[in-house]
Chain A
Amino acid sequence: MNIEPNTAYRDKYAIVGVGNSPLGKVPHMSAIGLVEQACVNALDDAGLRARDIDSLLVRGPDDIYTFHQLIGERLGINANFSTTATNGGASQILSVILAVMAIEAGLCTTVLCGYGRDSWSRTHRSEEARMRSATRSEEMESSEFGPEYGLFGAPAMHGFGARRHMHLYGTTRDQFGAIAVAFREHALRNPEAMMKKPLTLEDYREARMIVEPFGLLDCSLRSDGAGAMIVTTRERAKDLRRRPVLIKGFGTHNNLTGWFADDNMVNTAAGPSSARAYAMAGLGPDDIDCAQIYDCFTYMVMTQIEDYGFCRKGEGGPFVASGALKLDGRLPTNTSGGQLSEAHCEGVLQIVEGVRQLQGIYGNDRQVKDAKTCIVSGHGGNTVCHSTLILGTAT
């Protein structure tokens, strides 16, 4: 269905503060504690107090019920509008979108959005935790058409798409490797990133294979960590501490018929989602200065960059191999190191990094030069749900 995004939303709302918790291996903090810390840091960044917040759109691990309520309890907030989105890695941008919609509808004025997880600690905190992660619970697994054939873990589902892309377009593993190498270079400039060692294409080739076509370095990290953002109107943003980062456009799309249906694993939901975001923003791919792309696996960056129109479908391999994603490239991407090399917090850190690039807070070693626009993607929910956010500086 062809629907016209409401361009009246363009530049009307802003992200006025962002924060993150400690990232990586944080065994002394729970998922709730990590999100609480990210929220407090976002409030500090904005120069706001908890009592200024009247809406919570906060999410944590899927097995913690009504996560937003637990955060509200800790922050002492009764919210006019409060919920937890459940679109996997697409949820975090979706929360920012819901924030705009709720403010527009008059339900609230100032929204705290965030997400966090304790995925590293869940598998490493103790011997018991290690055992628990090794023994899979039947309830968490499909009951049929998967486990009986040895289908386990996220790499396989995304790997089907990568293999299909290789088949259709001649894409190579070295081209996936260029993505891992670029993001590692960015991580080395980020003191908070989990990965500290330089990475060469040779290292990438030599890493052990997991589920072909993916090796270890095609896969994102297992991390503890959280991020948070505060959304309000541009008008209200005027008297706050930071230069506001404007929400120029957003879009969503969900291929609910599944990853195996049609050509969804190669032409993903990122296509229609970004088309709506560009239309709302009145911008196209050529107007974008940097990108923060949901990188659960290397291949997912390649396909989203194509779906977002930075190159034609099938040309993502040569595009990334040209060095386009590096800080001085055509499209500096995942400038914090991304989920492959900074920390994997289901896309929330991509929003945080996009905002910081446009706040212009970094030194020359990490700042995208003259960045005025940033596109951010969120992807997940059985790899069929997508959301897109286009941010810009106030001019």
Chain B
Amino acid sequence: MSAETQDTYLKPLPRPSAESQPFWDAARDHRLVLQKCRACGKFWFPPSQRCVHCLSGDHDWTEVTGTGRVFSFVTYQRLYHKGWEGEIPYVVAVIELDEGPRLLSNIVGIPADQVTCDLKVRVTFDDVSPGVSLPKFTPA
């Protein structure tokens, strides 16, 4: 492929913090991991230093099932960023994982107009650049 026809990824890439780096490192290996508190056993998201339920500073990055449901979603019909040119409409959703935490992602593998709240979904990884894979969700 010549330089001119080579695909260029124009969307923003995540800029991990020290706190979120393990999440993105695992995603690169196609594993969805969240912080799980050693004191109270609960999960939380987004990443932070202490358990948001009990403030314990003791946790493990734990792989989760990757299954959940669409809590809510919106469908972009307007282009906000050139990286999505030709991809309108696309769906941005709040996913509630079976373990409890909610996270933001895309719903893929289903037409936008067929996405509903409570749709059962599972994680799938989109390898967007050599070092970065984004967890996205598809009907379970």
Chain A contacts to B: CB under 8 angstroms = 136, 138, 141, 143-153, 155-156, 159-161, 163-164, 167, 208-214, 257, 260-261, 265
Tier of interface size on chain B? 35 or more
Docked Cα-Cα span, A148 to B81, in Å, equals 11
Find out whether the CB atom of B80 lies under 8 angstroms from the CB atom of A148: no
The residue in chain A whose Cβ has the minimal distance to the Cβ of B74 is A159
The residue in chain B whose Cβ has the minimal distance to the Cβ of A141 is B12
Measured between C-beta atoms, what is the minimum distance from B97 to chain A in Å? Answer: 12
Interface positions, chain B 1-60, Cβ under 8 Å from A, are 11-17, 20, 24, 46, 52
Apart from A209-B78, A213-B74, 14 more pairs, CB < 8 Å: A136-B81, A147-B12, A148-B11, A148-B13, A149-B104, A151-B104, A163-B117, A164-B117, A210-B78, A212-B89, A257-B52, A260-B71, A260-B102, A265-B72
What B residues does A213 contact at CB under 8 A? 74
What B residues does A143 contact at CB under 8 A? 14-17
Interface string of B71-92 (1 = CB under 8 A from A): 1111111101101100001101
Find out whether the CB atom of B134 lies under 8 angstroms from the CB atom of A149: yes
Assuming the A-B contacts A143-B15, A150-B84, A151-B92, are A210 and B77 also in contact, with contact meaning beta carbons closer than 8 angstroms in the complex? yes
What B residues does A147 contact at CB under 8 A? 11-12, 81
B67 at the interface (CB under 8 A from A): no
For the complex of A and B, list the 5 residue pairs with the smallest distance between their C-beta atoms, beginning with the closest. A152-B80, A167-B117, A209-B77, A144-B14, A212-B75
What A residues does B71 contact at CB under 8 A? 164, 260
Interface positions, chain B 87-140, Cβ under 8 Å from A, are 89-90, 92, 94, 102-106, 116-118, 134, 136
Docked Cα-Cα span, A151 to B16, in Å, equals 17
Total residue contacts A-B, CB cutoff 8 A: 93
What B residues does A141 contact at CB under 8 A? 12
Docked Cα-Cα span, A141 to B20, in Å, equals 17
What B residues does A257 contact at CB under 8 A? 52
Find out whether the CB atom of A211 lies under 8 angstroms from the CB atom of B104: no
21 A–B contacts from the bound complex (CB under 8 Å): A143-B16, A143-B17, A144-B14, A144-B16, A145-B46, A147-B11, A148-B14, A149-B105, A150-B11, A150-B81, A151-B92, A160-B74, A160-B94, A163-B73, A167-B72, A167-B116, A208-B77, A208-B78, A210-B77, A260-B102, A260-B104
The residue in chain B whose Cβ has the minimal distance to the Cβ of A156 is B74
What A residues does B89 contact at CB under 8 A? 212
The residue in chain B whose Cβ has the minimal distance to the Cβ of A210 is B78
What A residues does B75 contact at CB under 8 A? 211-212
Measured between C-beta atoms, what is the minimum distance from B60 to chain A in Å? Answer: 21
Select which of B20, B74, B80, B117 is within 8 A of A144 by beta carbon.
Answer: B20
Find out whether the CB atom of A155 lies under 8 angstroms from the CB atom of B74: yes
Docked Cα-Cα span, A145 to B92, in Å, equals 11
Docked Cα-Cα span, A261 to B103, in Å, equals 10
